[in-house]
Amino acid sequence: LAGTEVIAAHDDGSVWRWDLADGDSTCLVPTSGDAAEESRIDLHRLPGPWLVLHRQGAPPEVWDLRSRERRAILSSDYGEFRSFAATPNGALLAAGLSTGFLLVYRMPEATEIARIEADPSEEIAVRAVGEDWLVTAGGSEPKLCAWRLPLKAESKPGKRLELEPDREIERLDEANSLVGADPVRGSIYVADRDGLSRIRVDTGEVDAEVPFGDAHAVWFEPGGATVLAAHAGAIRSRRLVDGGHELIARGADPFAGAYSPEGRVLAWIGQEPATVGILSTTAGHARTLDVRQPVADLAWARDGVTLYCAHTMGGIAVWDTRKNVSRAVWKGPAKGLLNGIALSPDGERL
């Protein structure tokens, strides 16, 4: 979740954690003796120390990554487990079943404290969980629903709550999607053809809208309060707080881009071949780099000045975006195309 590690399931059923800083690996889950060879293993990394390991044909297991111990095996007579979500502090874990049931567990004991019959005919997915609410998506009539969890006042050890939906937040169609959630603030983000909406879970009301229309590229600034949208040959800034917007740059037609680490500069790749733009989101100043070759991907260094450009036909160039000069770093593979690059958080590996 912090971007500093990778957790991988191996063919033998074991699970390992890889540290991206030094390359060291640690076995989190040993090989299961009764696990079928080459069986599917789904990993769900949740907030807190929890990792849900779901082997094909077996009940999900909840592992504590700090102690490397299995804390619980989840079981249910109501269907197969399909989705998982947890509160930011890891105190509550919610699971969606194939039969439309939802189960809520209190961690670390994995005690079932609530059962929700959301839609007995369709699979329901858990999308976000707060301290006293959860949001689901799907069903026979695709929609988002908020469920109030009156756990602090009404739940007792050993007592299971049978809950009803608190409200239907937003009906969805094929073009809509739940793109994110802020459990601490109690909000979710929903995108559709007309733009982005931030919806308060407790009231179901939209408290911010970003009507970016037919945008073909959208970026959240690192702080999350502003979104940049590219459409109609321009880039516009939209504030999530009040929905206000302003024109940032004309003549920009990007299809991909990346923010600098401090969030002040957006580098974008244009629809036209061999076009890379540099946009200061604070000053509204835009310019282009003389890259001369089609670019497939971009990656910023930590200094917010150095930009790595991966050229489609091979080769990576590093640019000083202030001086508008570059030098070749790698000539690229002898065969094949270069599709993308990424820089490690410490800036030491590309």
Higher pLDDT, 101 or 60: 60
Q: What is the pLDDT of residue 307?
A: 92
In this prediction, residue 57 has a pLDDT band, given cuts at 50, 70 and 90, of: confident
DSSP secondary structure letters along 159-194: PPEE----EEEEE--TT-EEEEEETTTTEEEEEETT
CB proximity list for 153: less than 8 A, separation 6 or greater: none
Task: Give bridge partners of residue 326 from the DSSP assignment.
Answer: 319
- Of 11-15, 75-79, 119-123, the one with minimum mean pLDDT is 119-123
In angstroms, how far is CA 279 from the centroid of its own chain?
25
Q: What is the pLDDT of residue 155?
A: 41
The yes-or-no verdict on residue 161 having pLDDT over 50 is no
- Burial level of 5, CB count in 10 A (0-12/13-18/19+)? middle
Residue corresponding to tokens 């111990």: 69
CB proximity list for 202: less than 8 A, separation 6 or greater: 133, 146, 186
Q: Are 79 and 59 in contact (CB under 8 A)?
A: no
Instruction: Tell me which range, 119-123, 127-131, 281-285, 315-319, is most confidently predicted by mean pLDDT.
Output: 315-319
The yes-or-no verdict on residue 118 having pLDDT over 70 is yes
pLDDT tens-digit map of 24-38: 888 988 876 654 455
Question: Closest by alpha carbon to 113, among 69, 152, 60?
Answer: 152
Q: What is the pLDDT of residue 308?
A: 92
The yes-or-no verdict on residue 154 having pLDDT over 60 is no
The yes-or-no verdict on residue 112 having pLDDT over 80 is yes
Q: What is the pLDDT of residue 34?
A: 55
Higher pLDDT, 177 or 274: 274
**Average pLDDT rounded to a whole number, residues 326-330:** 79
pLDDT tens-digit map of 199-235: 777 777 777 776 666 666 777 776 666 777 777 777 7
- Burial level of 153, CB count in 10 A (0-12/13-18/19+)? exposed
In this prediction, residue 160 has a pLDDT band, given cuts at 50, 70 and 90, of: very low
pLDDT tens-digit map of 292-303: 888 888 999 988
pLDDT tens-digit map of 73-82: 998 888 889 8
Share of the chain above pLDDT 90, in %: 3
Which sign does the torsion angle of CA 136, 142, 170, 100 carry?
A: negative
In this prediction, residue 174 has a pLDDT band, given cuts at 50, 70 and 90, of: very low
The yes-or-no verdict on residue 265 having pLDDT over 80 is yes
Give one word for 193, left, alpha or beta, with left for phi > 0 and alpha for psi -120 to 50.
alpha
The long-range contacts involving 341-349, CB below 8 angstroms and separated by at least 24 positions, are 341/297, 341/298, 341/299, 341/308, 341/310, 341/316, 342/299, 343/299, 343/300, 343/301, 343/308, 344/20, 344/21, 345/3, 345/4, 345/20, 345/21, 346/21, 346/302, 347/301, 347/302
The yes-or-no verdict on residue 132 having pLDDT over 50 is yes
Q: What is the pLDDT of residue 210?
A: 65
In angstroms, how far is CA 343 from the centroid of its own chain?
18
Residue corresponding to tokens 């990778």: 6
The yes-or-no verdict on residue 163 having pLDDT over 50 is no
pLDDT tens-digit map of 241-255: 655 667 666 766 677
Question: Closest by alpha carbon to 124, among 109, 110, 144?
Answer: 144
The yes-or-no verdict on residue 285 having pLDDT over 50 is yes
Q: What is the pLDDT of residue 60?
A: 92
Task: With H, G, I as helix, E, B as strand and everything else as coil, classify residue 220.
Answer: strand
Q: What is the mean pLDDT of the chain?
A: 75
